[in-house]
């Protein structure tokens, strides 16, 4: 079943499809050190703790958010646990993902180029209706910026992606990132 684990309703009682309660697999991709773990921990636990790495082998962290139309979205967030280094493993990782968040560090142009590599990978191998977000993290480090807002915006626009700059350190735009993703998810029709 290709759709298993993808966007689909989840009624917590019955496990049945439920247009009001979405459950989605979300993967993060990007160079090591751009802040993927910190973004997840900021979103899920509300803290910035660079020493607390998501344990290798842990399946995922999850976090549910409520939208204004009273639907909920439960994100099952998969951390690469360093596997982004092994390009061959990547398709296993993002198979079935409804959302891919590609992260770079605004102080590191190499990480921006690497992000573009991941976008191409996802366009080739990800599911056709995957929601793609491009995130320029470490936006608190303005004086060290080497990737302009315009570069991020233009690349995202060209590729039909949602773009946002975040700071896991200050919490800037972290919740907004996930809310905007939630709004862009295809909805199962309520029958």
Interface with ligand GDP (CB under 6 A):
30, 32-38, 50, 137-138, 140-141, 167-169
Separation between Cα atoms, residue 94 and residue 52, nearest integer Å: 23
Q: How far is the CB of 134 from ligand GDP (least distance, A)?
A: 15
- Shortest distance, CB of residue 101 to ligand GDP, whole angstroms? 11
Nearest-5° Cα angle at 34, 169 to 38:
40
Between CA 94 and CA 91 the distance in angstroms is 5
Crossing angle for the helix pair 149-158 and 109-125, to the nearest 10 degrees? 10
Task: Select 25 or 138, whichever has its Cβ closest to ligand GDP.
Answer: 138
Q: In the complex with ligand GDP, which residue's Cβ is closer, 12 or 33?
A: 33
Q: In this structure, are residues 59 and 89 in contact, taking their beta carbons and an 8 Å threshold?
A: no
| Residue (7 or 102) nearer to ligand GDP, CB | 102
128's tokens: 């056709």
Q: Select 19 or 171, whichever has its Cβ closest to ligand GDP.
A: 171
CB of 123 to ligand GDP, least distance (A): 21
Nearest distance from C-beta of residue 55 to ligand GDP, angstroms:
13
């Amino acid at each position: 079943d290709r759709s298993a684990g993808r966007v689909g309703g989840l009624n917590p009682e019955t496990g049945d499809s439920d247009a009001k309660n979405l459950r989605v697999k979300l993967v993060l991709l990007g160079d090591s050190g751009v802040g993927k773990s910190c973004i997840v921990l900021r979103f899920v636990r509300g803290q910035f703790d660079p020493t607390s790495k998501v344990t290798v082998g842990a399946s995922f962290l999850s976090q549910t958010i409520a939208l204004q139309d009273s639907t909920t979205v439960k994100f099952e967030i998969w951390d690469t646990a360093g596997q982004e280094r092994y390009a061959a493993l990547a398709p296993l990782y993002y198979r079935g993902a409804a959302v891919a968040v590609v992260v770079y560090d605004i102080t590191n142009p190499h990480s921006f180029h690497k992000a573009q590599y991941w976008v191409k990978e996802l366009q080739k191998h990800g599911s056709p209706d995957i929601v793609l977000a491009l995130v320029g993290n470490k936006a608190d480090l303005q004086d060290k910026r080497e990737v302009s807002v315009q570069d991020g915006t233009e690349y995202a626009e060209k590729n039909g992606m949602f773009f946002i700059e975040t700071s896991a350190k200050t919490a800037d735009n972290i919740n907004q990132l996930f809310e905007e993703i939630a709004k862009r998810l295809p909805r199962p029709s309520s029958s």
